[in-house]
């Protein structure tokens, strides 16, 4: 169905027309945003990269040429083969197909990023909203000084410490990353909120008698969504790198499961002769992180253009 | 007998902006509003005029409930607006609404017009059909219904301000504070909004407290005008008389500074009362009359005592040593 | 007066390239400034007045801005052909500008004195000694009636009031003895009593220095009190130009009239919302006369044919089909008749080129 000109809806007491206007207004906004987003070719590249990787990760068992190579598996006959028609990325030191393992590796990386952000963002955002709204009060001091403490510790070191005290596995690696990551969101949202809390639309809601949850979640939060999404997209890359770094030093995804970081570190022993064992997983990380970064830049441009 | 809906008695607002000493014993205060009395008559447009720093917006914000006064009283329909409680009762919030100066920031840019209009409805009239009510509000202010699900960004500044007016009307208030509603807009748009406001005032029996720096605008719409200078009122008079017989030297200075577009208006300006000096800092108020630093007629007494409000004529008050009180 | 114009903007067209198309912001405007003349450029927000002036100073941000036609002659030479270096030798020396918000024009982290330095050096075109700079800046501040200039030079812009800052900016702009001063809403951010002081000061100074001034403003009142000649702009077009007395006593263009009626009068009588609708979309401006969708007198002709500036009185020109030369249907809407409308415009309806403005 084609979008109608919004001014053609005349009688909104008619529920059908009302619904039509609502739908078409929404479509128009969406079309405008999509148009703006597609103006920047790099953000399109980012979007396509990310989508491709997500599809690969979700349907890994059907796409990977040798899904069984992800489980405990050895094939010494085909060990350490360079890239060829059967094994596009070659095979590793015990004969597993690297392409298949990279595709499955995306799963762990994406999951790592996703789980971390799903936990971190709500916590960080809520604290940021509260601290920003109650600016210059004890709430503000308490929350923001705590975030300062967490931000003062280098994330990788903290994650290493936590992951090494607890069992080295994917779950604990995520936990460690979560602990280091929420303050960034608190900071971000704090900045936006403290700027917005004196805007007239917030004052107007207060003066009319709106309650705190309405002001925080209906008035202020929608204005934080764009920076949050932008940061999330950029952070996916960083969290993935952090996860891969933990895997690289043996504190993340445990063999034989294929973490991209684990694979890179496993292959370093065979460098430079059997370069493909670590180079392809490393490239996979690069592509993944780059994709998310380009997407994030695109989102940022989009939201910036919306405000002007 | 006109019904008085709002009375301010000795209204004061002092802000502490810092301290002179590190131990925070000697506060530096700004006397933004320093003892103001006025009444608001039901159905009138009361113009509160002043330059920046005169305290006019502070009065508006106190009436709207954004700040509590530091002294004095605000009585609305017989009840005090500030009776020591922290939160103002919801009834008052429903009855007194405010429209802000900057149309850009008075609507939430990430929410549609419908959502923006729904905020006061959800709070004060949760039982009504909110969608239908928002449509009615748009009709009331003559905006196309197709704006309902648009975002404020796609509206012009004037249209945004009209939506802000519609939002203020949503609670069915009796007093609306208009804080420079048109000063950020072009004159052609201003005309449209002012005429809309005047129509709504008649239709809905509204009282306006109109804050502005634009005297010529007040000449055209205000029932009564009050001039603020350094946190105090210097002159209050009915609209017509105010402009035909300005009494306070500051009023005369203001009037003569207005750039006008015709000879006819030029004649209405007081004999060249040249503008000079600037408004002093409200932190260090001059001794005596606040206007003595700029007044061309200042006498010795003006540097000694702060003048009292005098009744010059019925309804016409001015605060100046040089004017004769009428007995 | 037959002296050659100082600045002559001829048929200037400016486009902005943006997402989704091109905004035709200026649609062929002509402005002429004689030495020492005081010009007012009036129009509402977004009519292109600032764009026109930025183009003249060679500071139009590009992209998105693009000068797509016309020429800007400064003392008879087209400055659009000048390189950055050549332009720099004029800008800040012979042409200067002051802005609406003096706080934005002054750098808050340097003292006033420090900010005078580069301005004076650029104007002098040579290194100046510290004492020379100080002397010259004190003179400049005295010029704008600022008390205690010595102390002022060592204070920071935030320590000054709005009126004082604008005086400092004026002093700075005029310290180079420019031939042309472009003032973009110089009093708008100030209180009315302060605005009156600043504008009367500015007025006196440009008279003394014989500096030509282009005053960009949306306030008709300010224009009436300060300028000799007014250009009224609407949506990237000059719709009317006349000597100031003439314009205010006898405005011709429906837009000018509407604008004047919209201004709240000290004589009272309510407010007019004479101009209906909103400003056009620059991406798809209305064909013909850009004002026709909002014009109470629009005819079929207005929808298709762009009206050219036509002389309707002494030095009074208007771009409107109501005053179409030989057709001379001027007496169609209320106000007094354009006496002698066609006397000086033998070919009234023709395009703007080759018209004789200051005959």
pLDDT in tens, chain B (327 residues): 688 999 999 999 998 888 887 777 888 888 899 899 999 999 999 999 998 888 899 999 999 988 889 988 899 998 888 877 777 888 889 999 999 988 888 999 889 999 999 999 999 988 888 888 999 999 999 998 888 888 898 888 889 999 999 999 999 999 999 999 988 888 888 988 999 999 999 999 999 999 999 888 999 999 999 999 999 999 999 988 888 888 899 999 999 888 888 888 888 888 767 888 888 887 888 888 989 888 888 888 999 888 999 998 888 999 999 888 775
Pick the residue with more confidence: B94 or A237? B94
Q: Residue C19: its chain A contacts at CB < 8 A?
A: 35-36, 39, 305
Mean pLDDT of chain A, nearest integer: 84
Residue A85: Cβ-neighbour burial (10 angstroms; 0-12, 13-18, 19+): exposed
A7, A203, A207 member nearest B146 (Cβ)? A7
Contact B123 A25 (CB under 8 A): no
Q: Any chain C CB within 8 A of the CB of B293?
A: no
Contact A200 B153 (CB under 8 A): no
Q: Kindly provide the b/e burial profile for residues C107-138, where b requires at least 16 CB atoms within 10 angstroms of the residue's own CB.
A: eeeebbbebbbebbeebeeeebeeeebbebbb
* C107 min Cα distance to partner chain B (Å): 23
Contact B261 C196 (CB under 8 A): no
Query: Given the DSSP bridges, would you call strands B175-179 and B79-80 parallel, antiparallel or unpaired?
Result: unpaired
Q: Any chain A CB within 8 A of the CB of B145?
A: yes
* B236 min Cα distance to partner chain A (Å): 28
Longest CA–CA span in chain A (Å) reads: 77
Residue A185: Cβ-neighbour burial (10 angstroms; 0-12, 13-18, 19+): buried
Contact C20 A35 (CB under 8 A): yes
Contact B102 A200 (CB under 8 A): yes
CA proximity to B228, closest of B92, B55, B13, B98: B55
Contact A22 B148 (CB under 8 A): yes
pLDDT of residue C267: 83
* A17 min Cα distance to partner chain B (Å): 10
Tokens of A75: 């094939």
The 8-class DSSP code of residue B88 comes to: P
pLDDT of residue C347: 38
pLDDT of residue C20: 65
B158, B195, B269 member nearest C271 (Cβ)? B195
Q: Residue C20: its chain A contacts at CB < 8 A?
A: 35
Q: Any chain B CB within 8 A of the CB of A14?
A: no
Tokens of A285: 């990380």
Q: Taking a C-beta distance cutoff of 8 angstroms, is the pair C256, C269 a contact?
A: no
Q: Any chain B CB within 8 A of the CB of A273?
A: no
C221, C225, C262 member nearest B190 (Cβ)? C262
Q: Residue A39: its chain C contacts at CB < 8 A?
A: 19
Does residue C348 have a pLDDT over 50? no
CA–CA separation, C354 and A25 (whole Å): 49
Convert the pLDDT of each residue in C231-255 to its tens digit.
999 999 999 999 999 999 999 999 9
Residue range C337-345: mean pLDDT, rounded: 38
Tokens of A90: 């070659």
> Could you tell me which chains touch chain A, where touching means 3 or more CB pairs under 8 A?
B, C
pLDDT of residue B194: 93
pLDDT over 90 for what percent of chain A?
23
pLDDT of residue C352: 35
Query: Given the DSSP bridges, would you call strands B96-99 and B175-179 parallel, antiparallel or unpaired?
Result: parallel
Mean pLDDT of chain C, nearest integer: 83
Q: How confident is the model at residue A305 (pLDDT cuts 50, 70, 90)?
A: low
Residue of C17, C19, C46, C63 to mutate for A, most A C-beta atoms under 10 A:
C19
Q: Residue B135: its chain A contacts at CB < 8 A?
A: 12-13
Contact B90 A204 (CB under 8 A): no
pLDDT of residue C19: 64
Contact B132 A13 (CB under 8 A): yes
pLDDT of residue C339: 40
Q: Residue A7: its chain C contacts at CB < 8 A?
A: none
* B295 min Cα distance to partner chain C (Å): 13
Tokens of C46: 């977004």
A200, A209, A222 member nearest B93 (Cβ)? A209
Residue of A208, A224, A226 to mutate for B, most B C-beta atoms under 10 A:
A208
* A123 min Cα distance to partner chain B (Å): 22
Contact B153 A306 (CB under 8 A): yes
pLDDT of residue C343: 36
Q: Which of A83-97, B167-181, C321-335 has the lowest mean pLDDT?
A: C321-335
Q: Residue B158: its chain C contacts at CB < 8 A?
A: 278
CA–CA separation, C111 and C17 (whole Å): 39
What residues in chain A have their Cβ under 8 A from chain C's Cβ atoms? 35-36, 39, 305
User: How many CB pairs lie under 8 A apart between chains A and B?
Assistant: 86
B93, B106, B151 member nearest A200 (Cβ)? B106
pLDDT of residue C45: 84
Tokens of B215: 């005297």
Does residue A138 have a pLDDT over 60? yes
pLDDT of residue C353: 35
Contact A201 B105 (CB under 8 A): yes
Does residue C277 have a pLDDT over 60? yes
Contact C20 A305 (CB under 8 A): no
B186, B194, B275 member nearest C218 (Cβ)? B186
Does residue C351 have a pLDDT over 50? no
Does residue C358 have a pLDDT over 70? no
A206, A218, A223 member nearest B109 (Cβ)? A223
pLDDT of residue B274: 80
Q: Residue C195: its chain B contacts at CB < 8 A?
A: 257, 259
Residue range A195-205: mean pLDDT, rounded: 91
The nearest alpha carbon in chain C to B214 belongs to: C192
Pick the residue with more confidence: C62 or C58? C58
What residues does B80 pair with on adjacent strands? Answer: B75
Q: Any chain B CB within 8 A of the CB of A6?
A: yes
Q: How confident is the model at residue A2 (pLDDT cuts 50, 70, 90)?
A: low
CA proximity to A130, closest of A189, A214, A199: A189
Residue range C180-203: mean pLDDT, rounded: 88
Contact B186 C194 (CB under 8 A): no
pLDDT of residue C269: 79
* A7 min Cα distance to partner chain C (Å): 15
CA–CA separation, C251 and C257 (whole Å): 6
pLDDT of residue B283: 81
Q: Any chain C CB within 8 A of the CB of B187?
A: yes
Pick the residue with more confidence: C356 or A295? A295
Residue range A21-34: mean pLDDT, rounded: 82
pLDDT of residue A12: 72
Residue of B61, B102, B110, B120 to mutate for A, most A C-beta atoms under 10 A:
B110
Does residue C345 have a pLDDT over 70? no
- Residue C286 makes CB contacts below 8 A (sequence gap 6+) with C280, C292, C293, C303
* A198 min Cα distance to partner chain C (Å): 21
pLDDT of residue C359: 30
In the Cβ-directed half-sphere of C333, how many Cα atoms lie within 13 Å?
A: 17
* B294 min Cα distance to partner chain A (Å): 34
Residue of B180, B182, B188, B295 to mutate for C, most C C-beta atoms under 10 A:
B188
pLDDT of residue B327: 59
Q: Any chain B CB within 8 A of the CB of A209?
A: yes
The nearest alpha carbon in chain C to B281 belongs to: C161
Q: How confident is the model at residue A3 (pLDDT cuts 50, 70, 90)?
A: low
> Could you tell me which chains touch chain B, where touching means 3 or more CB pairs under 8 A?
A, C
């Amino acid at each position: 169905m084609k979008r109608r000109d919004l001014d053609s809806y005349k009688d909104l007491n008619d529920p059908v027309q009302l619904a039509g206007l609502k739908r078409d207004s929404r479509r128009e906004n969406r079309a405008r945003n999509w148009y703006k987003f597609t103006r920047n070719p790099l953000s399109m590249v980012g979007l396509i990269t990310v989508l491709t990787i997500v599809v690969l990760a979700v349907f890994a068992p059907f796409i990977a040429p040798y899904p069984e190579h992800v489980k405990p598996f050895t094939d010494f006959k085909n060990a350490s083969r360079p890239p060829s028609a059967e094994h596009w990325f070659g095979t590793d030191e015990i004969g597993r197909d690297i392409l298949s393992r990279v595709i499955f590796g995306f799963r762990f990386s994406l999951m790592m990023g996703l789980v971390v952000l799903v936990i971190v963002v709500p916590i960080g955002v809520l604290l940021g909203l509260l601290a920003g709204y109650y600016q210059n009060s004890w709430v503000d001091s308490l929350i923001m000084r705590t975030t300062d403490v967490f931000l003062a510790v280098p994330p990788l070191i903290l994650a290493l410490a936590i992951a090494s005290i607890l069992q080295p596995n994917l779950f604990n690696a995520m936990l460690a990353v979560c602990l280091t990551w929420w303050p960034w969101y608190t900071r971000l949202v704090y900045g936006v909120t403290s700027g917005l809390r004196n805007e007239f639309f917030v004052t107007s809601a207060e003066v009319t008698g709106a309650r705190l949850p309405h002001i925080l979640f209906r008035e202020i939060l929608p204005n934080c969504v764009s920076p949050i999404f932008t940061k999330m997209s950029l952070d996916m890359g960083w969290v993935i790198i952090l996860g891969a770094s933990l895997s690289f030093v043996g504190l993340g995804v445990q063999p034989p499961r294929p973490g991209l970081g684990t694979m890179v570190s496993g292959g370093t022993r065979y460098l430079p002769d059997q370069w493909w064992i670590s180079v392809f997983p490393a490239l996979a990380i690069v592509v993944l992180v780059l994709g998310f970064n380009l997407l994030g830049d695109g989102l940022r441009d989009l939201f910036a253009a919306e405000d002007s | 007998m006109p019904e008085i809906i709002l009375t301010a008695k000795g209204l004061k607002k002092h802000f502490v902006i810092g301290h002179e000493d590190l131990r925070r014993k000697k506060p530096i205060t700004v006397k933004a509003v320093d003892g103001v009395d006025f009444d608001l008559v039901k159905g009138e447009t009361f113009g509160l005029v002043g330059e920046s720093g005169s305290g006019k917006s502070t009065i508006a914000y106190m009436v709207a409930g954004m700040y509590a006064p530091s002294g004095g009283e605000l009585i609305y329909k017989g009840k005090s607006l500030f009776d020591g409680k922290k939160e103002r009762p919801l009834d008052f919030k429903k009855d007194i609404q405010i429209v802000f100066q900057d149309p850009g920031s008075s609507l939430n840019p990430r929410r549609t017009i419908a959502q923006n209009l729904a905020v006061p409805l959800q709070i004060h009239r949760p039982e009504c059909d909110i969608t239908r009510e928002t449509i009615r509000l748009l009709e009331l202010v003559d905006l196309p219904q197709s704006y309902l699900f648009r975002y404020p960004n796609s509206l012009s500044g004037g249209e945004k301000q009209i939506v802000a007016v519609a939002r203020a009307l949503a609670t069915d208030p009796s007093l609306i504070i208009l804080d420079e509603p048109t000063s950020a807009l072009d004159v052609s748009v201003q005309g449209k909004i002012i005429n809309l406001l005047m129509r709504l005032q008649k239709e809905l029996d509204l009282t306006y407290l109109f804050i502005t720096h634009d005297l010529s605008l007040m000449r055209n719409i205000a029932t009564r005008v009050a001039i603020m200078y350094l946190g105090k009122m210097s002159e209050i008079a009915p609209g017509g008389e105010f402009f035909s017989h300005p009494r306070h030297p500051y009023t005369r200075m203001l009037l003569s500074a207005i750039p006008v577009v015709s000879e006819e208006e030029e004649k209405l300006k007081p004999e060249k009362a040249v503008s000079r000096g600037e408004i002093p800092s409200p932190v260090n108020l001059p001794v005596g009359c606040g206007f003595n630093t700029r007044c061309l007629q200042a006498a010795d007494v003006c540097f000694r005592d702060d003048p009292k409000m005098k009744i010059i004529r019925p309804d016409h008050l001015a605060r100046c040593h040089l004017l004769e009180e009428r007995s | 007066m037959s002296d050659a114009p100082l600045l002559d903007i001829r048929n200037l067209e400016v486009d902005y390239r943006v997402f989704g198309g091109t905004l035709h912001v200026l649609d062929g405007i002509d402005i002429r400034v004689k030495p020492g003349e005081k010009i007012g450029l009036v129009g509402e927000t977004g009519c292109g007045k600032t764009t026109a002036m930025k183009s003249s100073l060679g500071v139009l941000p590009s992209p998105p801005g693009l000068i797509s036609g016309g020429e800007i002659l400064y003392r008879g030479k087209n400055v659009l052909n000048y390189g950055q270096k050549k332009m720099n030798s004029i800008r800040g020396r012979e042409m200067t500008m002051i802005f609406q918000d003096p706080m934005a024009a002054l750098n808050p982290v340097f003292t006033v004195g420090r900010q005078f330095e580069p301005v004076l050096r650029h104007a002098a075109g040579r290194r100046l000694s510290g004492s020379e700079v100080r002397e010259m800046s004190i003179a400049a501040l005295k010029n704008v009636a600022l008390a205690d200039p010595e102390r002022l030079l060592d204070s920071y812009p935030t320590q000054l009031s709005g009126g004082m800052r604008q005086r400092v900016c004026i002093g700075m702009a005029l310290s180079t003895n420019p031939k042309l001063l472009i003032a973009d809403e110089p009093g708008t951010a100030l209180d009315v009593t302060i605005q009156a002081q600043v504008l009367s000061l500015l007025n006196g100074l440009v008279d003394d220095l014989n500096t030509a001034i282009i005053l960009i403003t949306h306030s008709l009142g300010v224009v009436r009190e300060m300028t000799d000649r007014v250009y009224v702009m609407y949506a990237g077009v000059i719709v009317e130009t006349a000597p100031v007395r003439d314009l205010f006593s006898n405005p011709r263009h429906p837009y000018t009239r509407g604008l004047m009626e919209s201004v709240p009068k000290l004589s009272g009588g309510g407010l007019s919302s004479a101009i209906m609708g909103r400003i056009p979309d620059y991406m798809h401006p209305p064909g013909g006369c850009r004002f026709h969708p909002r014009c109470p007198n629009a005819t079929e002709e207005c929808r298709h044919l762009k009206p050219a500036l036509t002389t309707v009185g002494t030095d009074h020109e208007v771009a409107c089909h109501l005053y179409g030369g030989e057709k001379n249907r001027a007496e169609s809407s209320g106000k007094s008749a354009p006496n002698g409308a066609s006397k000086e415009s033998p070919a009234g309806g023709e395009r703007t080129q080759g018209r004789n403005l200051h005959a």
